Amino acid sequence: MASVSLLSRAQAEIVGIDQSGGHLSLRDCLLEASEVQRGTLISSSGGTIAVQSSVFKGPEASTEFNTVELHGVSESVWKKTEFLPGSGKVTRAIFAEDSSLILDSCLLVGGDGSKNAVGLDLKNSELKLRSSVVRTSSRANYSVGLLTESSQVVVEKSRFLLEGRYGTIGIKTKESNITVTASRFQGKRTLEFLYLVNQEGGEGYYDTNIFEGGESKDSVSVFLTRTGGDWYNNTVLAGTGTNTTHGFHIRESGSLRFVNNILVRRADAFGKAFYVIGTAPQEIRTNCLFGWQSLFYQVSQRAGNEDVSLVEIEALNYLDTDRNGGPFHKNIQESPLQTFDSAKNDVYRLASGSRCIDGGTNVGVSPYNGPTIDIDGESRPALHIGTKPQYDIGADEYH
């Protein structure tokens, strides 16, 4: 790198670059800290920031360390930059409050926080995350890839690699609005819990993503509280929990619109595809659902640890009674062995004989009339049979 700054101090607290107002520009820089208990490499209050092709590295042992901390920064653009907060009790790649961030082609690591580790921690902020990798560590006790409160978030073409000793969450939002497209989430084994998405309040829009769960005591692909959101053309391969296995867990009046998605388990039938607490309406149509003991399990309330059940749908034909446009209709059932091309299962592309091909709907897929490209960037819907292109089910469009 053309410019290198090294911070190596046996101090209680350090700040590498402390900016107040003005404009900070860095390119081809290395900022590194060691032998500190608490600190940050870049701390900025106000002003603007532009950083490219740089690396920020935290210490091997600390009490609390953030590689970057932003307060009231009106514009910050980060390109091809690595955020590595190191090890400690609490570690964050980026903490931002009342700030605006654009991250393009970056690597963000939550670090090895023995208490908790976070990739991005946002409050009252705006984030655009593009073509980036967010990774949590198996050595962190509890980890979150993206943590937001009262923020506006857009995630595009990014990847979340999720590990944690006891528990990990890919995206955890509170009263935030979030859009996630063409991204991939991969969870690995934890001891207590594994949530790929945990959203409380706010609005959510998810299309053309791949979600792959892992094993834990409680394995929930998507946990929604007081929200539901729009989910179109996603592929969700759920994990397995020794205590709880849910594809979608919806509570406190959350209302979900779930169209043209694949939601399957690769093992024997187990768990609940949709577990709903409350009476809010749900729309589940033209999806591929497989590998679940119960497809739809709705309870009016929880009495202690007991469910007060309203309805339990175990078989697909009960979920598919109204083929003329009801809230549950035109769903199919197909095993992953039939759905995916085994030679290309790293991205879960559709096999040539899958019923998911042309199995989706073109009508009312989203406010934008449906995704126009698939997970590989190819156009959708594609013409396979007949005279009118029809959406495939899942993140991949068969070509």
> C-alpha angle with apex 237: 234 to 238, nearest 5 degrees?
120
| Most confident listed range (188-197, 315-324, 363-372) | 188-197
Query: Is pLDDT above 90 for 325?
Result: no
Query: Is pLDDT above 60 for 58?
Result: yes
What pLDDT was estimated at residue 33?
85
Q: How confident is the model at residue 305 (pLDDT cuts 50, 70, 90)?
A: low
| Segments making up each domain of the chain, as ranges | 3-317
Average pLDDT over residues 354-358: 93
Q: Residue 343's CB: how many other CB atoms inside 10 A?
A: 8
Polymer length in residues for the chain? 399
Average pLDDT over residues 130-148: 94
Average pLDDT over residues 28-57: 91
Distance CA 55, CA 157 (A): 22
What pLDDT was estimated at residue 50?
97
**Which pTM does this prediction carry?**
0.92
Average pLDDT over residues 290-307: 78
What pLDDT was estimated at residue 3?
44
Q: Is 366 exposed, middle or buried (0-12, 13-18, 19+ CB in 10 A)?
A: middle
Q: Classify the phi-psi angles of 307: left when phi > 0, otherwise alpha if psi is within -120 to 50, otherwise beta.
A: beta
What pLDDT was estimated at residue 74?
96
Which one is predicted more confidently, 7 or 217?
217
Query: Is pLDDT above 90 for 172?
Result: yes
Distance CA 255, CA 257 (A): 7
Distance CA 345, CA 225 (A): 32
What does the pLDDT look like over 222-279, one tens digit per residue?
Answer: 999 999 889 999 999 999 889 999 999 998 877 788 999 999 987 777 899 999 888 7
> C-alpha angle with apex 252: 250 to 254, nearest 5 degrees?
50
Residue 80 · residue 51 · CB < 8 Å? no
- Identify which of 197, 244, 205, 245 has the alpha carbon closest to the alpha carbon of residue 224: 197
Query: Is pLDDT above 60 for 100?
Result: yes
Q: State the residue for tokens 């007949």.
A: 386
Q: How confident is the model at residue 326 (pLDDT cuts 50, 70, 90)?
A: low
| Most confident listed range (11-20, 174-183, 319-328) | 174-183
Strands 203-207 and 177-181: parallel
User: Which residue type does 218 have?
Assistant: D
What pLDDT was estimated at residue 4?
45
